[in-house]
Amino acid sequence: MAKPFIPSLHPVHRLPTATEAVAMGDKAYAEFILKRERVIALEKADPLKNFWEPPIWFICDCLLGLPWVDAAVAARVRQALGFPRPIKFLTILGGNRAGKTQYCVTRALRLMFTNPGFSAWFWHESVKMSVDLHQKEFYRYLPPELKTGDIKGKEAYIAYKRKTGFSDMSFILPVGDADGLSDMTFKTYGEPTIEGANLNLVVLDELTGREAAHAEIAETMPLRVAEKDGIIIKPFTPVDGYSETVRMDMDGGKPVLESSAFMCPKDSGEPAVTAALGLTEAELQECYAADRERRACHTPQCRPETFEHLTGGATTEATQRRVAPGRQFETVPRIVKCVDPEQKKAVVFFHSADNPYGNPKNVASTIRSRNKPTWFVKERFYGVAHKLISARFLFNRQVHIVPASEIPPASQCTNYQLGDPHSKRNMAMAWFSVTPEHVYLRREWPGNYEIPGIGEPGPWALPGKKPDGIAGPAQKPFGFGLRDYKREIARLEGWKDYQAEKPADMNDEEWAKAIDSWDDAAGAREPIEDRELDARFASTPRMEKDRPVTLITQFEEIGMFFNGMPGEDINAGLTAIDAALAYDRQKPVDFFNKPYLLISEECENSLYAIETWTGVTKEGKTDRDGATKEWIDLMKGFFLRERPFLGGSQQEGTEVTEEKNFY
């Protein structure tokens, strides 16, 4: 007696339910099943060509500008996410079984087959890890014609054993001629790197940053891909929390796409597992039944997000309709734009639900059964690392940041300008505008805008080995004298006397005297109530021409008048910032529940500082000279002294030009 035919179970290609099968009729149902079995068989035989890919993979392909994606579509996706050009450094943070390795393996093979002479290195912690996780996957995805036996010759070298992996930890594909074959080499951390290696792709899997060798590899690998304009991918499961690797990529990064974390409720309700998996309740129950009875029932396709809005489609989140009205859930980042002057770095999060092949239902069930805290769920399901050493301030981008267009005009505020000078770097300056309800950090200098004669200076600080980062390009001295600072202040505030260029009929001495004569009291677009400089530096006297002078008195001589800014009481200053950032986090944010301090979206250096500043060095000691310290000092100085709202500008007709002429 012949065995009854039992359709294959598959996580993506679903089977009709019994009701659907009856409605289809015997013939149509048989044809559907036959076609489905062929699709599954093709995927098993040649997964590289027939594997179903999660939508987030397509977004990564667009960010990297990979050649099989339509260039116009990829550019549209990058534009929607704020990336002006293809990125070159992609970090993938993923939950358990999220498909990070599969993405890297399939992209490497595709690139090797489409680009003769393509050369790549894949790194892991040990030979065993490389054999078990990387090399096994590479062999699985090789085309069937390359798995018939060992291939050894002038045009290819592929010798594989499941126990030991590829011979010599490498293989060569039959792509290109003898001088331009595509090759793959598997590497392990700790072994010496090859100076002069010229690569198209480097994948640094689980590069935690714990070991000295990790830091060395992270620093040298960009040089290995520089000549070929290659790419580096770092897939990582943050089981060690906010590790060195995560911090280097995430500190100060800007989330450009976020998702609802349906496994992390903010209300008193249970996690919405169906929404987290992209299923209906009926589909989820059908999924459980299939596991229990092993009958011919499908494991439904997971479809948490489609990202159609990035390519011009709908903006709705498909899973939201599966949540009861009124439920509240946390949000998690999907794509983060890193702090990077060249805008070539991004972090993408792979959720466990992205990969239906990884049995996300079981991942979700296991996480729930352990009754773990929210941070654990975020790490293991959403790939979001738990930050053990937190930034000093409780800061929320959705609450504390405002668009520049929503800040009241300076003429309707009471305005204060503060500066933090230094002998070895540029002076950091900040402009605060006070209204009866709020204080706005309106502007910073240097900022993310053009400075005459300098250009756009780049970030003040970058993620680095210290918790508070390392000095960025904007700290490198511009060679500015006091009159240069006065000109910049006059330009930004729109002084009536301000002149962008020296008149042709003036010599340098006459031009200097003209700048000295400029006076904001004669009229300005932004009237300033008070100006202050950090007293520790600006009030320290030094002898010059047999008389004591300070920076404050030197500014007075050229017509700029500053007072000393308080700043000695560190703890009081930090407490004052805390108070300005405070709001009731248990209640909705509205007109009556809003922080006092709001920061313009354009103040990127200040935002990086307040999001990342810890106040400690890598060794755990207090850091009095960190890379972001100036912006924290300016905020401390502002809030350590009463800065009342004294009304808007009392001067009539002081508007001299539109603000757009000064940025």
pLDDT-derived band at 7, boundaries 50, 70, 90: confident
Q: Which residue has the higher pLDDT, 246 or 405?
A: 405
pLDDT-derived band at 423, boundaries 50, 70, 90: confident
Burial of 208 by CB count in 10 Å (0-12 exposed, 13-18 middle, 19+ buried)?
A: middle
Q: Which residue has the higher pLDDT, 76 or 214?
A: 76
Residues 603, 83, 347, 403, CA torsion sign: positive
pLDDT-derived band at 288, boundaries 50, 70, 90: low
Let me know: does 83 contact 346? Beta carbons within 8 Å.
yes
Mean pLDDT calculated for residue range 378-384: 89
In the prediction, which pLDDT does 624 show? 59
Three-state secondary structure call for residue 593: strand
3-state helix, strand, coil in the chain (%, to 5): 35, 20, 45
Instruction: Write out pLDDT tens, residues 153-184.
Output: 777 889 999 999 999 999 999 886 656 789 99
In the prediction, which pLDDT does 194 show? 63
**DSSP H helices in 53-92:** 55-64, 71-81
Percentage of residues in the chain having pLDDT higher than 70? 84
In the prediction, which pLDDT does 660 show? 35
Helix axes 100-114, 55-64, angle to 10 degrees: 50
Mean pLDDT calculated for residue range 643-649: 85
Q: SS3 letters for 23-43?
A: HHCHHHHHHHHHHHHHHHHHH
The tokens for 137 are 């996957």
In the prediction, which pLDDT does 518 show? 95
Question: With 80 as the cut, is the pLDDT of residue 368 above it?
Answer: no
CA distance linking residue 219 with residue 412, whole number of Å: 49
In the prediction, which pLDDT does 662 show? 32
Tell whether pTM > 0.85: no
The tokens for 316 are 């709705």
Which of 25-29, 488-492, 534-538, 595-599 has the weakest average pLDDT? 534-538
Question: With 50 as the cut, is the pLDDT of residue 656 above it?
Answer: no
Instruction: Write out pLDDT tens, residues 536-582.
Output: 777 666 656 666 788 999 999 999 999 998 766 677 888 889 899 99
All CATH 3.40.50.300 domain ranges of the chain, comma separated, are 80-382
The pairing of beta strand 89-94 with beta strand 231-236: parallel
Sheet holding 329-337, edge to edge: 151-152, 157-158, 170-173, 182-188, 119-124, 201-204, 231-236, 89-94, 345-350, 329-337, 254-265
Category of 196 on φ-ψ map: left (φ > 0), alpha (ψ -120 to 50) or beta: left
Instruction: Write out pLDDT tens, residues 40-75.
Output: 999 999 999 998 999 999 999 999 999 999 999 999
In the prediction, which pLDDT does 409 show? 95
Short-list 522, 519, 238, CA closest to 385: 238
pLDDT-derived band at 248, boundaries 50, 70, 90: confident
Three-state secondary structure call for residue 336: strand
CA distance linking residue 220 with residue 193, whole number of Å: 9
Question: With 70 as the cut, is the pLDDT of residue 297 above it?
Answer: no
Which of 479-488, 545-554, 631-640, 653-662 has the weakest average pLDDT? 653-662
Long-range pairs of 15-18 with CB within 8 A, sequence gap ≥ 24: 15/296, 15/297, 15/298, 17/286
Question: With 90 as the cut, is the pLDDT of residue 593 above it?
Answer: no
In the prediction, which pLDDT does 393 show? 82
Percentage of residues in the chain having pLDDT higher than 90? 50
CA distance linking residue 125 with residue 344, whole number of Å: 26
pLDDT-derived band at 653, boundaries 50, 70, 90: very low
Burial of 152 by CB count in 10 Å (0-12 exposed, 13-18 middle, 19+ buried)?
A: exposed
In the prediction, which pLDDT does 625 show? 65
Average pLDDT value for the chain: 84
Q: Which residue has the higher pLDDT, 294 or 417?
A: 417
Question: With 90 as the cut, is the pLDDT of residue 436 above it?
Answer: yes
Q: Which residues pair with 653 in a beta bridge?
A: none
Those residues whose C-beta lies under 8 Å from the C-beta of residue 395, and which sit 6 or more positions away, are 581, 610, 611
**DSSP H helices in 90-209:** 100-114, 127-129, 136-141
CA distances 59 to 50, 197, 308, Å, are 19, 29, 10
What CATH fold (topology level) applies to the domain 80-382? Rossmann fold (3.40.50)
